[in-house]
Amino acid sequence: MKLINVILTGMLALSAFSCNVEKSWIDKDNVRQKAKNAAGITELANDAVAYATREGSRYFVADTLHDQAMKARFSKYGYRYDKVTVTFQGQDTCVFCDNLDSTVIFRTLTLRGIIETVYDFAVNKRTFKDDGPYGATVVFHHVSGRIYYRRQPFPMM
């Protein structure tokens, strides 16, 4: 009986450890992909700011755009079904808040949590710490230039 408990405890610990390793590997791979597509992300962020300014809409889903060329650009970089948030003069300056000032956030929902690409278009360049004091569940990495990667769990988890 003790042997079975030891084996089950070991398997549970191994599965919990492997899940964290897998998330870490996925985060590194996502950061690499976003760094590779940094010019495209910057172009999409500029399009999103122009759209939000023109339409007066702070939130939109890329797939619902009427501009077919713009929709194609979002699709090309994998953001076709993402929710896009453009924040002007937001109140928050913390990196895990939804209303981070002067940013475009491309939000994707996955089984691993909420994965976001954050483009900072503030006039004054800011820096944020990677994996700073944002809580044990939030992952935040600098990708390149003004692009950041953030992963957080679903609010209910």
* Beta pairing partners, 59: 85
- Flag whether pLDDT at 77 surpasses 50: yes
Burial (CB < 10 A; 0-12, 13-18, 19+), residue 10, is: exposed
Q: What is the pLDDT of the chain when averaged over all its residues?
A: 79
Structure tokens at 23: 């998330």
CA–chain centroid gap for 34, Å, is: 10
Q: Cα 45 vs. chain centroid, distance in angstroms?
A: 13
Cβ-based burial of 80 (10 A; exposed 0-12, middle 13-18, buried ≥19): middle
DSSP tag of 92: B
Greatest alpha-carbon span in the chain = 68
Q: Which residue has the higher pLDDT, 9 or 91?
A: 9
Pick the more confident residue, 114 or 155.
114
Over range 107-125, report the average pLDDT. Answer: 85
Residue 14 has a pLDDT of 46
pLDDT of 157 = 47
Residue 53 scores a pLDDT above 80: yes
Q: 98 pLDDT band (50/70/90 cuts)? A: low
Percent of the chain, pLDDT > 70?
72
Q: Are 102 and 120 in contact (CB under 8 A)?
A: yes
45-59, 78-92, 143-157: which is most confident: 45-59
Q: Which helix (H) or strand (E) holds 42?
A: helix 38-55
Q: Regarding predicted confidence, which is higher, 114 or 1? A: 114
Over 60: is that where the pLDDT of 20 sits? no
DSSP state of 64: G
Whole-number Å distance between alpha carbons of 70 and 72: 5
The answer to whether the pTM exceeds 0.85 is no
